[in-house]
Amino acid sequence: MKKNLIIVAALSLFFSCDKDEESPVVSKKDQLTGTTQRGWYIHSMTPDERCSSGADDTWTFFSDGSFEYNNGTITEDITDEGGCGDFANLLGSWELTENETHIKIIAKSRKDDPSTTFDLAILEGTLTSMSEEKFIITAKDPSSDDEGTVEFRRR
């Protein structure tokens, strides 16, 4: 009798563990923002147009659809050699469209002067890859119709 109980227990344990548990599907919004916010940096671009001053920039996406860009402490004036320069620290919004396959990041004001407002799309394109650790946006340059990519990594 004990032998039968051990066999039944072993079989029930085997069959209960045999079922694959499905991972919950995480939306692109949640991958981008976490539960409330998530900071990212530009890891690479094609064509490579990054400036050294962008190394400590942070792009923060909030779950309420707001956005903040912080240019960090390494800055360059736009007049420096190579045409590099940091954006001012910005506040804005972001939105996913077309069934979470496209993203648009919109600057709305300078962080140091929120009373001055504008509505400027600073990055817009197709989300070609998305995870909680990195995402890639493919976009066309409106002035030349050349296509490029921007890869963000989690800060």
Q: Give domain status of residue 38, yes or no.
A: yes
Q: Is 147 inside a domain boundary?
A: yes
Residue 67, in any domain of the structure: yes
Give the Å distances, CA to CA, from 89 to 44, 49, 142, 145. 21, 20, 24, 28
Residue 7 lies inside a defined structural domain of this protein: no
Phi, psi values for residue 146, rounded to 5°: -75, 145
CATH number assigned to the domain comprising residue 92: 2.40.128.540
In a domain, 96, yes or no: yes
pTM greater than 0.85 = no
Dihedrals phi, psi of 22, to nearest 5 degrees: -80, 135
pLDDT in tens, the chain (155 residues): 555 445 444 445 444 554 556 778 899 999 999 999 999 999 998 887 767 767 789 999 999 999 999 988 877 665 555 566 677 899 999 999 999 999 999 999 999 998 989 999 999 999 999 999 999 999 987 677 789 999 999 99
Q: Where are the alpha helices (DSSP H) in 1-152?
A: 2-18, 28-33
Is residue 34 in a domain? yes
21 occurs within a structural domain? no
Count of the separate structural domains present in the chain: 1
Helix (H) or strand (E) holding 117: strand 113-130
Is 2 inside a domain boundary?
A: no
Domain of 79 in residue numbering reads as 26-154
